[in-house]
Amino acid sequence: MHLSSTIASRSVSLSDSSDRSEHPNALPMRTATGNSPASSLHEQARAMRDDRFGRRVFVRGVVEVSSHCRENCRYCAMRRDNRALTRYRLDADELAELIIHRRPAGITDIDIQAGEDPVAVREVVLPLVRELRRRTNLGITLCLGTLAPREYDQLREAGGDFYVMKIETGNSDHYGFVGAPGNLSERLAAITYLAATGWQVSSGLILGLPGQTPAMVEQTLNLLTLLPLAGCSVSPFVGGPQTPFGAAPAGDIEQTLNCVAWLRLRAPHWIIPAVSAMRLVSEDGYVRAFNAGANLATINLTPSTARANYPIYSRDRVIMDEDRVLTAIAAAGCEVSRIGISEHLRGNKTLANGRVLSPSHVASRAFEAVGVDTCS
């Protein structure tokens, strides 16, 4: 099938107000109440999640190991031009002690996250990953930004399983406007490289970024379904302090949850998280994410002395501790998974369309879909 036909068959419409909720391509952007199309969409997505995973939710811990960042994203308060932020790097040995001996019992995976900081990769992340792999059976997720291929390889050899590489927006011009890392072509190339070298990869988008149009959301969702991914997130935009977008309104929780549901229906096997920004923009947003098909929750393990200096959304972000996470899972009628993400994904190479494709083949379709050249 020619690519244009493939894209057309996967297209969504944010502007069509007709009730097409029974079709998985439909994305009603209205409030999920009563018998609305959005409510039906969430119900279908929840049923799809339950069919593939049961009502089990993966629970991982996150440690935010460095707030240094060489990028200058216009939406993120950790951007390098934010001189008001106190930067830090945590100690690998102290983090290992925390994760190995003091993590909550339900955690099966650990997410090691940082600004784009090669120094932290060398001095903190690599030794920490090696120690965790040597002493635990935890699945190891990394969210460290765009690195050199050699660094991805070192992290994989050290024991990393899962890499989070968000595209945030799938429109090349918009990507440049919001100042996301590098350019979209480079981001797609990184995802392709990671998948081709044995990583399970997750990506994601921000809903409600300044300058974002419904057509851009469509384009981004369609692009994500073409990538060699094991998971994907949708985060509502929250204007970071000391950023050019700090005064912009937050992303709409209804549209965010509708995108979560749509992704579940299009990619039933994906790991899709509820994210803390949902709780920040809506009191019940986090719980409702599980009712829209999400199946991953994250407990924040970052030492309290460092959290305020990791303003991924804002200094006043909601910290999802163990009690909040377990309460939300129970409120959604779900239960904590006894197996981890990495264990679940082991040997599973199936992509969103249900066929097994090579990362390079998938990537070529993705590059063509956004009209960018592949990177050699």
Condensed to tens digits (0 to 9), the pLDDT of residues 111-159 reads 999 999 999 999 999 999 999 999 999 999 999 999 999 999 999 999 9
Q: Nearest CA to 9 among 257, 292, 254, 352?
A: 352
Residue 23: the pLDDT is 44
Residue ranges of the chain with pLDDT lower than 70?
1-35, 314-316, 347-376
pLDDT score of 361: 60
**Mapping DSSP to helix (H, G, I), strand (E, B) and coil, where does residue 62 land?**
strand
Contacts of 251 (CB under 8 A, 6+ apart): 206, 207, 208, 209, 235, 236, 237, 238, 281
Q: Each residue of 263-288: b (16+ CB within 10 Å) or e? A: bbbbbbbbbbbbbbbbbbbbeebbbb
Write out pLDDT tens, residues 179-229: 999 999 999 999 999 999 999 999 999 999 999 999 999 999 999 999 999
Of residues 62, 27, 209, 235, the one with CA closest to residue 144 = 62
pLDDT at 28: 53
pTM over 0.75: yes
pLDDT of residue 84: 94
The domains of the chain, with CATH numbers, are: 41-370 (3.20.20.70)
